[in-house]
A and B are shown apart, each in its own frame.
Chain A
Amino acid sequence: MKPPSFRYFAARSADEAVGLLAEHGAGARVLAGGQSLVQEMNARRVAPEVLVDVNPAAELAFVRQENGTLSIGALTRTSQVESDATLDGSLTGLREAAARVGHVAVRNRGTVGGNLAHADPAANLPPVMLALDAEVVARGSGGDRSISAANFFLGPHRTALAPAELLTEVRLPLPPEGAGSAFIEVSRRDRGWGIAGAAAVVALDREGGISDARIGLSGVGPTAVRARPAEEVVIGERPSAELWKAAAGAAAAALDAPPSDVHASGRYRRHLAGVLVARALAAAADRAERRN
């Protein structure tokens, strides 16, 4: 469990990192928190020739809210999101998802950008970003471009980032006043890889009806997915246990062949997706009600 040899470069800024990635081509990988990449290297499942370490690029670590947009720098540690009380309110679900990324030592090193760019189908932050309609900012030698979360995840550990692009930040529109969010996950153990997870954002109108709902799921396909059929079931309705149950059924039925592994079968994951959708919607709606 020792990696093959590689060359290491420390990038002091995002631009320097982009330059190094361009210079070293497809054999280069970005090292951020290293909580997934280094394990993969040690097991010799990946063997990058060059590591571009972005940890010295302090400009990439920030959490900002301005003009109705939340921006999180790619190098922000997961634990920072977990402990950021300014995110409470409509973004509680984001904090919940961050708080369940492994154990505290992992969260102190692991980064928001890394969690997204590694694109593990069972990772916590991708479904949250889908539910929050986030966009990812990618910097290449030609400058910045943004990619919607919906278009960012292409497959297990595959994203829309070009080889020489660096994920620099994630931006998301703050949910409307009166919205609530939640993230719920089931894992075999209290922490560790989830079998499946659900993120939900629910907005209520003045009459208490559901004006908007977005749901993201992890662990049930090659990428995190939106549960649109479940969203359609609930939008325009009033919150109720029956409604959540109907949404659960719609979400589970719409899944395309959830994966099987040593921990759970696809059949169980499909069932779980429904349970989690119902629970996440209930929790998000409950929070929304309490904010109204």
Chain B
Amino acid sequence: MSQPRSWRGKAGRTMETQERRWIGRDLKRREDPALVTGKARFTNDVSLPGMLHAAVLRSPHAHARILSIDADAARELPGVHAVLTGRDALELIDPVPCFAAEPVEERAIAVEKVRYNGEAVVAVAADSRYVAEDALGRVRVEWETLEPVADAEAAMEPGAPLVHENLDSNVVYDQTFTFGDVEGDFARADRVIRRRLRWPRAAPAPMEPSGAVCAYDSAAGRMDVWSNTNMLNFVAWTIAGTLKMPPHRVNFHPMYTGGSFGSKHVLGKQVAIAGALSKATGRPVKFMEDRADNLMANDSQGPERVYDAELAVTDEGDLLSLRLHTVDDYGAYFMFAITGNTNMMAQISGPYTISSVETGIKAVLTNKNQQTVFRGAGSDVGNWVLERLVDAAANELGLDGIELRRKNFIQPDQFPYKIPTGNVYDSGNYPAVLELALGHADLDHWRAEQERARAEGRYIGIGIATAQQRSTYFSTEFWFHNPAPATGLTTSPESVRIGIGPTGGLTVTMFSPFWGNSPETVVSQVVAEEFGVDPEEVAVDYDSTMHGLPSAGPGGSRMTVMLSGAVRGAAAKVKKKMFDIAAHLLEASPDDLELADGRVWVKGFPVEERSLSIADIGMKAYWHKLELPEGMEGGLEGSYTYDHPYASMPSDDRTDLGAFYPIMGHACHVAVVEVDAETGRVEFLKYLAAHDVGTVVNPRSLQGQIRGGIAQGIGIALYEEVRYGPEGENLSASLDEYLLPGAPDVPRVEVLHHETPSPFTEYGVKGGGEGGRMVAPPAVTRAVEDALSPLGVKIGALPITPEKILTLTQGREA
């Protein structure tokens, strides 16, 4: 199979030209009333009769062997019902799900040794969380401390202590991918721009930590799980394996999720702790992480990468080729393998016509909480690295950064455009997005301000980034980095069911839970569009795994695309049956009917007597069997499983990864900052974001997504970093140490939209969930660097803290 295979979604390539009534309308989010009045039911709101509360004893050491655990005093405390060590739990639970081919085993409660500061050692179930925490204070652990592997560089040294003794080395993955004629392009280049760039470890830190309530019923052999784990109808069955349960006897209930940012895809560990304790006690058990649990041990930290990055350019400013070699600190486990690095291969060459790419990845295990995926999933890092190189190229070539970008953009007539890695960009208009941004940026004004400020000894800087926001992943991303895939997964589905009741009420059921975005708003707008009803009339619900249909759930900016496709597919089925019933009753051909304003009409006869309302048809479908066409099933519902609209397989030699993230958005951000060169504080004077994510379904909710993402992008640029000390001790286990930007730290953001509809998705929708966070870091970095350019400052590491700014400015003086 050397040639990639392609296919298209059922409805195929449709450029929507018809007038739309609901898609694109700026409607209030229907999720909000429940959220802002405290009525939404989160995992921690679940309370069951007889429910116990769990707490976890966490390792004070980064790397240590457990010699013995004395938990007798904890067990004797009144109100304590179970105390489980890792060894006790072996009978109850298996290792937590790991999607890597490499043999890296993680258990919810450590058995022989701990591999990071904060790893679970003992779990307790008690009458209250208070008593459970009291019990933890009575546990005595005898440790043999081991030399910690506190950073990736130390971990790679020969003779370094091993995080996992079954591996020969802490370098768990080491591959270089070459796409196109990298050597030739570098040989042709007039100049090579080189930078060493460091991206800091971050934590998603959502408002709501992760957790689960598990209720084991030994008589029925069944477990019920209420958890904010997200990929219910995709991979929750693997968590059933951890629970040592047959998947069809574990029911995961969909819960409202208070933010995830990638941290709640698969909460194997949290469910396993509650599940093991429920099995041990025969009672429902709640385990909710508190803030310290979440920051120390959530298994969702972001990449921590050092890049040796090279960009081959000509003197005229042609960007030819890219060489990126990274050492990435994965922490103690390897749940999603190198997904964060494969993800960025979807858009590694950005919006530019770079013709070849080499990317080397060394994934290193250390004594830290593990890295999985955090909003942007590695493509955030890729954008920052590429835009740093482009800015550096502009400086070194003496060219204007905007001109350099414009010169190298992929042009609108070049789509679909295949980039060197094999991924395909479906559509785009990068010059138009840039012009839209520049039209509102008022750069002449800000450049004059900059001059004026410099004369007064103040430092104003302008940063511009033009970068990609890939959306709608395909599952080859999870395994194509491995020459011998364990699964070869080629599906990434999303399903809905649409039902019309006897009185005409429309109900839509989703099989992925609410994760903080706007799935109910999106779904009701699309259903309204399809049936000609008001979105307010549509009821939206979620269903559990026992009643589930294939749904991969949120992640990789896909839900608006996938739900639109699924709704359209299900609506087509329901409408077909409505037309069949109506045709029978109206004595017309189904082909002569049309659905408008909530009624089925005979085309060309706009008289009410010759039409049927949705309710008329619903009533017939449920209550009037003998009036239905001969042999027709009763009821009126349809479900549809939509899969990726445009994807292809990787080539066997992996010189072509196939189309795996083709629904490509784009954005241009403009940041203007003032830097206080005496204190190192950064203040925003302006922030502008122009995005193109195809057809916009709801401008209001998209703007919220973009603004929230920008807040997180500013976080990584200026504030956020998970820090570990020389002994591997976690120095960021509270929100006093792990600094999230607060409302006053985030500027007012002007959001602009350009719409280039995708030719491959329903309505031309693209995903926009991660773009804010993926594009803000390079814009902010450049703005700070530009401000300090009179001092010769170059920025190669985030976050840019006040002290770092001082060090950089003083470095110039020294």
A: residues with CB less than 8 A from B are 1-5, 43-44, 103, 186, 188-193, 195, 262-265, 268, 271-272, 275
Contacts and interface: CB of A to CB of B under 8 A. Distances in A.
A29 B741 CA distance: 33
Given A186-B679, A192-B742, A2 B736 contact: no
Contacts of A263: 737, 739, 801
Closest 4 A-B residue pairs measured CB to CB?
Answer: A190-B744, A1-B290, A268-B803, A2-B130
A11 B10 CA distance: 73
A191 B740 CA distance: 11
Contacts of B208: none
Contacts of A5: 130, 134
B292 A264 contact: no
B802 A186 contact: yes
23 contacts: A1-B290, A1-B291, A2-B129, A2-B133, A4-B137, A5-B130, A43-B292, A44-B137, A103-B742, A188-B801, A189-B742, A190-B744, A191-B744, A192-B739, A192-B742, A193-B736, A263-B739, A264-B802, A268-B802, A268-B806, A271-B806, A272-B679, A275-B678
A190 B742 contact: yes
Given A188-B739, A189-B744, 17 more contacts: A1-B290, A4-B134, A44-B133, A186-B679, A188-B802, A190-B742, A191-B742, A192-B736, A262-B732, A263-B739, A264-B801, A264-B803, A268-B803, A271-B806, A272-B679, A275-B678, A275-B679
A193 B742 CA distance: 13
B742 A1 contact: no
Nearest to B807: A268
A1 B130 contact: no
Contacts of A189: 719, 739, 741-742, 744-745
A53 B531 CA distance: 61
A43 B741 CA distance: 23
A48 B290 CA distance: 22
Contacts, number: 62
Interface string B720-757: 00010000000110101101011011000000000000
Contacts of A188: 719, 739, 801-802
A189 B711 CA distance: 13
Nearest to B718: A188
Contacts of B742: 103, 189-192
A271 B680 CA distance: 11
Most chain-B Cβ atoms within 10 A of its Cβ — which of A1, A186, A264?
Answer: A1
B106 to A, nearest CB: 24
Most chain-B Cβ atoms within 10 A of its Cβ — which of A2, A186, A272?
Answer: A2
Q: Is the interface of B mostly helix, strand, loop or mixed?
A: loop
Nearest to A195: B802
Nearest to A186: B679
Interface in B603-621: none
Contacts of B290: 1
A186 B681 contact: yes
Contacts of A192: 736, 739, 742
Contacts of B291: 1
A192 B678 CA distance: 20
Interface in B660-676: none
Contacts of B133: 1-2, 4, 44
Contacts of B723: 262
Most chain-A Cβ atoms within 10 A of its Cβ — which of B719, B737, B806?
Answer: B806
Nearest to A196: B679
Most chain-A Cβ atoms within 10 A of its Cβ — which of B292, B679, B719, B739?
Answer: B679
A190 B745 contact: yes
Nearest to A268: B803
Contacts of A103: 742
Interface residues of B, number: 29
Interface of B: 128-130, 133-134, 137, 290-292, 678-681, 719, 723, 731-732, 734, 736-737, 739, 741-742, 744-745, 801-803, 806
Contacts of A43: 292, 734
A164 B789 CA distance: 58
Contacts of B744: 189-191
Contact of A1 (B292, B732, B801): B292
Contacts of A195: 802
B130 A262 contact: no
A19 B133 CA distance: 32
A103 B744 CA distance: 10
A260 to B, nearest CB: 10
A103 B130 CA distance: 28
Nearest to B289: A1
Contacts of A271: 806
Contacts of B737: 262-263
Most chain-A Cβ atoms within 10 A of its Cβ — which of B732, B736, B741?
Answer: B736
Contacts of A4: 130, 133-134, 137
A40 B732 CA distance: 16
A113 B739 CA distance: 28
A189 B802 CA distance: 10
Contacts of B680: 268
A192 B292 CA distance: 18
A189 B741 CA distance: 7
A268 B732 CA distance: 20
Given A1-B290, A1-B291, A2-B130, A265 B803 contact: yes
Contacts of A268: 680, 802-803, 806
Contacts of B681: 186
A272 B745 CA distance: 20
Contacts of B130: 2-5
B290 to A, nearest CB: 4
A262 B731 contact: yes
B479 to A, nearest CB: 38
A163 B290 CA distance: 32
Contacts of B129: 2
A90 B554 CA distance: 57
A248 B803 CA distance: 18
Contacts of B806: 268, 271
Nearest to B128: A2
Nearest to B746: A190
A190 B718 CA distance: 12
Contacts of B802: 186, 188, 195, 264, 268
Contacts of B679: 186, 272, 275
Contacts of A190: 742, 744-745
A191 B743 CA distance: 10
Contacts of A2: 128-130, 133
Contacts of B801: 188, 263-264
Nearest to B801: A188
A51 B732 CA distance: 29
Nearest to B739: A188
A262 B734 CA distance: 12
